[in-house]
């Protein structure tokens, strides 16, 4: 049994997703956002520089040699620096497939976070670690994690938490410990039903699409914006199809990350499509309307503005135009930007897109179900008398929710067909509604961040309870590990009991 209380200021939270590691040192009355964010990839210099290498982020690389050491891997800015200097670098994503594909690569990443970014010292390590990690790892993997953190990092205590539970704890209130977490990632979307405080692993779903596909879709729509295309790709210049696609995808990424997108309710996208694409080049005449866009509706409120100027301002407001700065160009965008999230709700839209730089469809129809259908299917795998409780807590998270508000409400509206709505069909176990969860506003540091940091916040909440309870069995202490070894973690991880 863990019989030691550890200092809150020394506690380390490490949240590890498929593509990102976020970490922070110390727990305080006001729970803080992560101080460290590292892309969850490592690089390995290609030994034979005469071989043409692919240094792209998702390169399909040869397996590393069996004797590859932790110190052989490049992490963080080291990767970019090596590529910039002309070195051949192979990129690996050890968590991308929802498991730990390579333990040496995982160790290299966590070592970098602890000792480079958080500036901890192994020889005088006083920090206990709570690790929020991908769900569904084997018991052997839990033991290897425990062994790594004690023997390689010399931690003072160790606890593991499934990411969906961490995400859920960030938003749940009271004793309502049932719900469903939808985590929209870069290339995958994970759906995790939770009942009575435990992830229902047989019902979990992983979909083979995510933010990358939304970016590709918006890039496709932007091709119809003549103002954007003429500015970025003037007829006097020559650009390959790959260059055009890469540029438009980068623009799409900037648009959503700069908070210029709202998620549409069901039916709104069709309305925009019927309107057609605004010929923005025709709207912008002599720069006057552009100035109106940039100043918002200030001119409209100005009594000195002419009636014609005020009318034009109202017209442009209805068009919902914005200007963005991109690669030295001032670009004007219309309502088409709000269709960014459409592929999540209708995956058939992805079928006719350009290749997008070599990204291939990797899945069967089962893993390309539209998000509402997939969530309904996942919850449908749970016992019928438990579903009403699961529907009472829908949390949509992922980086996309840091910049695009209302994802939960948009999904909620599209899940209505999975509830029986008529009185004749109702019964005592049939859910009548779906409740959307969000990170509460009283977490001041997170108030303006959206729900994408839910996992880190939830892990911080659990850590505050775990490491301050000297009588609990919620973490492995050094003495526990010395006495019983790595298997001790199995007794202190509720998901494995």
Give the span between the Cα atoms of 444 and 369, in whole angstroms. 36
SS3 214: helix
Give 327's pLDDT tier (boundaries 50, 70, 90).
Answer: very high
Cα–chain center distance at 232: 29
- The pLDDT assigned to 251 comes to 98
For 1-53, how does the pLDDT look when each residue is reduced to its tens digit (9 = 90+)? 444 557 899 999 999 999 999 999 999 888 999 999 999 999 999 876 444 44
Residue 54 pLDDT greater than 50, yes or no = no
- The pLDDT assigned to 353 comes to 83
Is residue 38 within 8 Å of residue 80, measured between CB atoms?
Answer: no
Q: How many CA atoms lie within 13 A of 400 on its CB side?
A: 26
Q: How many helices (H) and strands (E) does the chain have?
A: 19, 16
- The pLDDT assigned to 36 comes to 97
Residue 358 pLDDT greater than 50, yes or no = no
Lowest mean pLDDT among 49-53, 118-122, 247-251, 411-415: 49-53
Measured at the CA of 365, the angle between CA 19 and CA 421, to 5 degrees, comes to 95
**Domain 179-208+367-425, CATH:** 3.30.420.40
- The pLDDT assigned to 3 comes to 47
DSSP 369-431: --HHHHHHHHHHTS-HHHHHHHTT-EEEESGGGGTSTTHHHHHHHHTGGGS--SGGG--TTS-
Q: Which of 233, 243, 189 is nearest to 356 (CA)?
A: 243
- The pLDDT assigned to 47 comes to 76
Torsion of CA 408, 326, 208, 269, to 10 degrees: 50
- The pLDDT assigned to 211 comes to 97
Give 472's pLDDT tier (boundaries 50, 70, 90).
Answer: low
Q: Looking at residues 365-386, what average pLDDT do you find? A: 92
Q: Looking at residues 442-455, what average pLDDT do you find? A: 91
Domain span(s) for CATH 3.30.420.40 in the chain: 8-33+99-170+453-496, 179-208+367-425
- The pLDDT assigned to 433 comes to 83
Torsion of CA 155, 159, 163, 164, to 10 degrees: -170
Torsion of CA 39, 42, 45, 48, to 10 degrees: -120
- The pLDDT assigned to 364 comes to 66
Give the span between the Cα atoms of 203 and 184, in whole angstroms. 17
Lowest mean pLDDT among 184-188, 363-367, 383-387, 478-482: 363-367
C-alpha dihedral sign at 359, 363, 365, 368:
negative
For 330-351, how does the pLDDT look when each residue is reduced to its tens digit (9 = 90+)? 999 999 999 999 999 999 999 8
Give the span between the Cα atoms of 412 and 409, in whole angstroms. 5
For 190-215, how does the pLDDT look when each residue is reduced to its tens digit (9 = 90+)? 999 999 999 999 999 999 999 999 99
Percent of the chain topping pLDDT 90? 66
Q: Looking at residues 154-172, what average pLDDT do you find? A: 95
Give 117's pLDDT tier (boundaries 50, 70, 90).
Answer: very high
Q: Which residue shows structure tokens 């995510």?
A: 210
Give the span between the Cα atoms of 492 and 472, in whole angstroms. 9
The CATH architecture that domain 8-33+99-170+453-496 belongs to is: 2-Layer Sandwich (3.30)
- The pLDDT assigned to 304 comes to 61
- The pLDDT assigned to 149 comes to 97
Is residue 390 within 8 Å of residue 379, measured between CB atoms?
Answer: yes
- The pLDDT assigned to 53 comes to 43
Mean pLDDT of the chain: 85
Residue 354 pLDDT greater than 80, yes or no = no
- The pLDDT assigned to 424 comes to 44
Choose from 306-310, 384-388, 390-394, 472-476 the range with maximum mean pLDDT. 390-394
For 247-302, how does the pLDDT look when each residue is reduced to its tens digit (9 = 90+)? 999 999 999 999 999 998 887 765 666 555 555 555 554 344 555 455 555 545 55
Give 179's pLDDT tier (boundaries 50, 70, 90).
Answer: very high
Q: Which residue shows structure tokens 């008529």?
A: 422
Q: Looking at residues 456-478, what average pLDDT do you find? A: 86
Give the span between the Cα atoms of 131 and 134, in whole angstroms. 10
DSSP 137-198: --HHHHHHHHHIIIIIT--SEEEEEEHHHHHHHTT--TT---EEEEEE-SS-EEEEEEETTE
């Amino acid at each position: 049994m863990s019989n030691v209380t550890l200092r809150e200021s020394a506690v380390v939270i490490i949240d590890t997703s498929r593509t990102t590691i976020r970490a922070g040192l110390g727990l305080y009355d006001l729970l803080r956002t992560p101080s460290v964010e590292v892309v969850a990839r490592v690089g390995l210099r290609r030994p034979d520089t005469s071989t043409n290498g692919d240094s792209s982020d998702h390169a399909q690389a040869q397996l590393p040699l069996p004797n590859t050491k932790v110190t052989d891997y490049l992490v963080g800015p080291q990767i970019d620096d090596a590529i910039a200097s002309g070195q051949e670098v192979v990129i690996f994503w050890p968590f991308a497939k929802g498991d730990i594909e390579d333990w040496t690569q995982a160790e290299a990443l966590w070592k970098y976070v602890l000792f480079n970014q958080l500036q901890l010292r192994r020889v005088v390590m006083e920090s206990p670690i709570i690790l929020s990690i991908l769900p569904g790892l084997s018991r052997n993997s839990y033991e290897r994690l425990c062994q790594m953190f004690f023997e390689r990092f010399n931690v003072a205590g160790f606890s593991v938490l499934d990411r969906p539970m961490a995400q859920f704890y960030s938003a749940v209130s009271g004793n309502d410990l049932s719900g469903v977490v939808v985590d929209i990632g870069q290339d995958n979307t994970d759906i995790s039903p939770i009942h009575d405080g435990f992830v229902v692993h047989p019902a979990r779903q992983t979909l083979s699409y995510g933010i990358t596909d939304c970016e590709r879709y918006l890039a496709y729509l932007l091709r119809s914006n003549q103002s954007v295309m003429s500015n970025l790709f003037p007829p006097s210049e020559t650009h390959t199809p790959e260059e055009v696609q890469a540029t438009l995808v980068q623009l799409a990424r900037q648009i959503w990350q700069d908070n210029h997108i709202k998620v549409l309710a069901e039916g709104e996208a069709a309305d925009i499509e019927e309107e057609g694409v605004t010929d923005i080049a025709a709207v912008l005449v002599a720069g006057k309307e552009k100035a109106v866009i940039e100043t918002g509706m200030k001119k409209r409120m100005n009594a000195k503005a002419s009636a014609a100027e005020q009318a034009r301002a109202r017209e442009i407001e209805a068009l919902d135009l914005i200007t963005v700065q991109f690669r030295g160009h001032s670009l004007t965008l219309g309502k088409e930007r709000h269709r960014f999230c459409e592929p999540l709700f209708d995956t058939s839209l992805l079928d006719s897109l350009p290749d997008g730089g070599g990204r291939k469809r990797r899945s069967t129809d089962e893993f390309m179900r539209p998000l509402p259908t997939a969530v309904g299917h996942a919850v449908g795998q749970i016992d019928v008398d438990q579903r009403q409780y699961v529907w009472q807590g829908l949390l949509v998270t992922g980086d996309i929710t840091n910049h695009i508000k209302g994802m939960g409400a948009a999904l909620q509206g599209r899940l209505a067909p999975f509830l029986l709505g008529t009185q004749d069909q109702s019964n005592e176990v049939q859910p009548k509604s779906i409740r959307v969860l969000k990170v509460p506003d009283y977490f001041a540091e997170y108030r303006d961040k959206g729900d994408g940091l839910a996992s880190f916040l939830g892990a911080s909440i659990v850590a505050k309870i775990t490491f301050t309870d000297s009588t609990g069995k919620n973490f492995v202490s050094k003495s526990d590990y010395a006495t019983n070894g790595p298997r001790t973690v199995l007794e202190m991880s509720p998901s494995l009991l």
